[in-house]
């Protein structure tokens, strides 16, 4: 997994609440058995004017010029600014895969849906929760200044604006540690093999019906 | 010991270890696998040279991509090549690793959230995960069940554990009796309307109260299934005699002496008197009427006898913008009567409403009536091969077909349109599924979430109609 320590990049403002995972990456692209290549289909239904098809070459598809990511000033954006309940809906990890593949390293919003929030950390993307007033301010500043950039500093747990204003954000210690170091969860968990085996032995004694019933 | 909630008990009983910052390693009893969110997990396992920790804690079935029309030709004849590869990949992965899979034409195949309970793989007191947000369904059995991402699917395969942290406790207490024609689906849509789509975020919801203890397992599954539509990953109901009666005798459920031992162990699967809930929401069952969603989020819901909302009555600018956007997408006008919305398609199915009871409720309304001329297609998709067989044994397939519905093979179907069942742009669909997001049932499609009885009523009327009128007739 990619490390995330500090990132500065152009901000793309996605000004709508309850952006769901079907909107982030529509279902037809979930048929892929790979983890990569989802970036060109990110926000497919609002980004293009035609209907997207899995495995399609998107180079010549008609663009929805009104959509934020199609506007020249946001071309190199890597910080997504969003509204409440971002990422609601399904558990598809294809949503963070698509954001990451497109080039987003961090998403800032007043709130996130739980599963999406969790999935981001598994893919080197930092979801940052700031309160609604601050997010409003960032939307306003972003609209006013072309090339508006934010610096998201995980070590300091701060978002820094171009004028030097700093906003603190919360992040769980364990998640921060994994992201700062790009750690693989499975390796970490397997350091506890003895604990897992001991728990399992006890669990089997207490609930023997949970073992051996389902056989391939 | 201090009074604990059902969630507290389930969480503590499965905690392998807990760290100081509150993150916990939770032991997982059952992982359900399907073709969409598992291929990258198996690939990760293979690349790292790891093996599944426990084969007997996994059960797989393809559901999202499978065609629901005639499919006796097998996987090789799935027309869409990308879908075909995904279903084949699941077959190959399960065969390679020795994981039990009900393949596409096995009579036990179906939607994972229908198959798990039906087989007795989902048991009270267990932890259940699946790479699918509707995994909360299994919480109906007094289990701790939630959706996970693909990285976590791989993590559970490799370690039998999930890194997680304790959520907050929420109790939704429903008291009183549901009226005639009002179902579990109407109740949960009403609850989502009250809570909002993010109202349950960060919480594990327990559905309790006198109403819940009257509701069947099918109804409880419908309610827990949609907890995620209120933002909560987990929905749960305490174990009672209704739970035990459903589980007993199922293929993977404990038998004989072991059954009695299990029943004794499950007697504690309820919240203690005086247990602390961070949030309590009270719902009066008598207030719930048949529901219809009008917008593009499940919280955009009203009773069938109400009007489409007017954005001018909303003061919050972000919400007002949301209503305007939804009205425009749905092709509806403010203050329009719900009963004036004409339907192009009807979908009865999905992990929310494709169990035998759902089939019966829809058939009761369809019986002796005909699908209206303006409805292009009305499909009934049972949740599993076993639900299909049971419905056919009861003659329900004939009732549907005589009324002009199509009777299909089991799968997720038009709930998310990964297979050929989908809406064309601007088509209105009365759907018993769980999400009315833009494009969910097909690019530009307009979804209205309803109960099976309301969907059948809409099919025979051509517009939404209060199903109670058809029941009294």
Query: Domain segments of chain A: what residues?
Result: 6-183, 184-216
* Closest-CA residue of chain B to A23: B438
**What was the pLDDT predicted at B12?**
98
Which alpha helices (H) appear in B331-376, and where do they start and end?
356-366
Q: pLDDT tens, A172-212?
A: 999 999 999 999 899 999 999 999 999 999 999 999 999 99
Chain B positions touching A192 (Cβ under 8 A) are: 16-17, 25
Q: Do B16 and A192 touch (CB under 8 A)?
A: yes
Q: How confident is the model at residue A216 (pLDDT cuts 50, 70, 90)?
A: confident
Strand partners, B281: B172
A110 min Cα distance to partner chain B (Å): 12
- Cross-sheet strand order for the sheet of A158-160: A126-129, A106-109, A79-81, A6-13, A149-153, A158-160, A166-168
Over the stretch A72-130, which tens digit does the pLDDT of each residue have?
A: 999 999 999 999 999 999 999 999 999 999 999 999 999 999 999 999 999 999 999 99
What ipTM does the predicted assembly reach?
Answer: 0.95
Query: Which residues 2-31 of chain A have a CB within 8 Å of chain B?
Result: 16-18, 20, 22-23, 26-28, 30-31
> Which chain B residues contact residue A113 at CB under 8 A?
198, 201, 231
A126, A120 Cβ separation under 8 angstroms: yes
pLDDT at B19: 85
Cβ–Cβ below 8 Å for B36 and A30: yes
Mean pLDDT, rounded, of chain A: 96
Between A and B, how many CB-CB pairs are < 8 A? 207
Report mean pLDDT in 10-residue bins for chain B, 473 residues.
Answer: 95 94 94 98 96 98 97 95 96 98 98 98 98 98 97 98 97 97 98 96 97 98 97 98 98 97 98 98 98 98 98 93 96 98 98 98 98 98 98 98 98 93 96 97 96 98 97 68
SS3 assignment, position A25: coil
* C-alpha–C-alpha distance, residues B193 and A123, integer Å: 33
Are B136 and B146 in contact, with CB atoms under 8 Å apart? yes
In this complex, is the C-beta atom of A206 within 8 Å of any C-beta atom belonging to chain B?
Answer: yes
Residue A20 is nearest to which of B59, B160, B437, comparing CB atoms? B437
Residue of chain B whose Cα is closest to the Cα of A110: B198
Residue A145 DSSP symbol: S
CATH numeric code, A6-183: 3.20.19.10
A120 vs B contacts (CB less than 8 Å): none
Q: What pLDDT is attached to residue B473?
A: 52
* Calpha distance B267→B270 (Å, rounded): 8
Closest CA to B426 of A165, A51, A27: A51
pTM of the predicted protein model = 0.96
Nearest to B133 among A111, A115, A214 (CB): A115
Residue A98 has a pLDDT of 98
Q: What per-residue confidence (pLDDT) applies to A1? A: 83
CA distance B409 to B63: 11
The answer to whether residue A56 neighbours chain B at the CB level (below 8 Å) is no
Nearest residue, CB atoms, A91 vs list B16, B149, B254:
B149
Extended beta strands in B335-457, E state: 345-348, 377-380, 406-407, 428-431, 446-449
Q: Is the CB of residue B163 less than 8 Å away from at least one CB of chain A?
A: yes
What is the rounded CA–CA span in Å between residue B86 and residue B84? Answer: 5
Nearest CB partner across the interface for B198, out of A31, A111, A213: A111
Give one DSSP letter per residue of B80-135, joined into a string: SHHHHHHHHHHHHHHHHHT-EE--TTSTT-B-HHHHHHHTT-S-TT-EEEESSGGG
Chain segment A128-145, per-residue pLDDT in tens: 999 999 999 999 999 999
pLDDT value of residue B472: 65
B-chain CB neighbours of A139 within 8 Å are none
Yes or no: say if A188 and A176 are a contact pair by the CB < 8 Å rule. no
* pLDDT band with cut points at 50, 70 and 90 for residue A2: confident
Confidence at residue B22, expressed as pLDDT on a 0 to 100 scale: 85
């Amino acid at each position: 997994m990619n490390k995330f320590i500090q990132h500065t990049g152009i901000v793309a403002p996605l000004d709508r609440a309850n952006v769901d995972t079907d909107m982030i990456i529509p279902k037809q692209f979930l048929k892929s058995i790979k983890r990569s290549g989802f970036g060109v289909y990110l926000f497919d239904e609002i980004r293009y004017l035609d209907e997207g098809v899995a495995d399609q070459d998107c180079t010549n598809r008609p663009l929805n010029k009104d959509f934020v990511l199609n506007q020249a000033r946001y071309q190199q954006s890597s910080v997504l600014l969003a509204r409440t309940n971002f990422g609601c809906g399904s558990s598809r990890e294809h949503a963070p895969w698509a954001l990451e593949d497109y080039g987003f390293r961090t998403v800032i919003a007043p709130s996130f849906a739980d599963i999406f929030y969790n999935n981001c950390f598994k893919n080197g993307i930092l979801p940052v929760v700031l309160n609604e007033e601050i997010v409003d301010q960032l939307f306003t500043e972003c609209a006013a200044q072309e090339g508006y950039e934010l610096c998201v500093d995980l070590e300091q747990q701060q978002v820094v604006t171009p004028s030097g204003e700093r906003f603190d954000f919360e992040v769980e210690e364990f998640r921060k540690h994994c992201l700062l170091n790009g750690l693989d969860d499975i390796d970490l968990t397997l350091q506890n093999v003895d604990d897992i085996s001991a728990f399992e032995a006890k669990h089997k004694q207490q609930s023997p019906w949970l073992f051996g019933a389902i056989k391939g | 010991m201090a009074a604990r909630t059902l969630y507290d008990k389930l969480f503590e009983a499965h905690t392998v270890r807990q760290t100081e910052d509150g993150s916990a390693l939770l032991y997982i009893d059952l992982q359900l696998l399907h073709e969409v969110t598992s291929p990258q997990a198996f690939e990760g396992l293979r690349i790292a040279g790891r093996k599944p920790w426990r084969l007997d804690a996994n059960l797989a079935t393809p559901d999202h991509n499978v065609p629901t029309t005639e499919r006796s030709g097998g996987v090789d004849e799935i027309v869409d090549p990308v879908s075909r590869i995904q279903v084949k990949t699941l077959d190959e992965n399960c065969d390679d690793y020795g994981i039990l899979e009900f393949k596409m034409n096995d009579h036990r195949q179906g939607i994972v959230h229908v198959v798990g309970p039906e087989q007795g793989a989902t048991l009270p007191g267990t932890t259940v995960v699946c790479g699918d947000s509707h995994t909360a369904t299994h919480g109906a059995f007094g289990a701790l069940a939630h959706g996970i991402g693909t990285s976590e699917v791989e993590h559970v395969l490799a370690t039998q554990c999930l890194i997680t942290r304790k959520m907050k406790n929420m109790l939704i207490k429903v008291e009183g009796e549901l009226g005639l024609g009002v179902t579990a689906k109407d109740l949960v849509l009403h609850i989502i309307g009250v809570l909002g789509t993010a109202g349950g975020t960060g919480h594990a919801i327990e559905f309790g109260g006198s109403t819940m203890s009257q509701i069947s397992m099918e109804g409880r599954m419908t309610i827990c299934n949609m907890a995620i539509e209120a933002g909560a990953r987990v929905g749960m109901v305490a174990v009672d005699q209704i739970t035990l009666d459903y589980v007993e005798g199922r293929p993977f459920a404990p038998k004989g002496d072991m059954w009695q031992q299990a029943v004794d162990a499950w007697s504690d699967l309820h919240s203690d008197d005086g247990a602390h809930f961070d949030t309590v929401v009270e719902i009066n069952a008598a207030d719930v009427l048949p529901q219809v969603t009008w917008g593009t989020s499940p919280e955009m819901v009203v009773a069938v006898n109400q009007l489409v909302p007017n954005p001018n009555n909303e003061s919050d600018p972000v919400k007002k913008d949301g209503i305007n956007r939804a009205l425009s997408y749905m092709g509806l006008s403010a203050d329009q009567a719900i009963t004036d919305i004409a339907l192009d398609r009807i979908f009865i199915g999905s992990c929310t409403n494709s169990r035998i009871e759902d089939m019966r409720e829809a058939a009761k309304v369809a019986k002796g009536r005909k699908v209206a001329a303006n409805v292009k297609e009305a499909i009934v998709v049972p949740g599993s091969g076993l639900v299909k067989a049971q419905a056919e044994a009861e003659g329900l397939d004939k009732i549907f077909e005589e009324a002009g519905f199509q009777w299909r093979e089991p799968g997720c179907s038009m709930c998310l349109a990964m297979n050929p069942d989908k809406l064309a742009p601007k088509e209105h669909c009365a759907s018993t599924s769980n999400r009315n997001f833009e494009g969910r049932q097909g690019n530009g499609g307009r979804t209205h979430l309803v109960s099976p009885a309301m969907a059948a009523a809409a099919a025979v009327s051509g517009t939404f109609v209060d199903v109670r009128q058809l029941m009294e007739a």
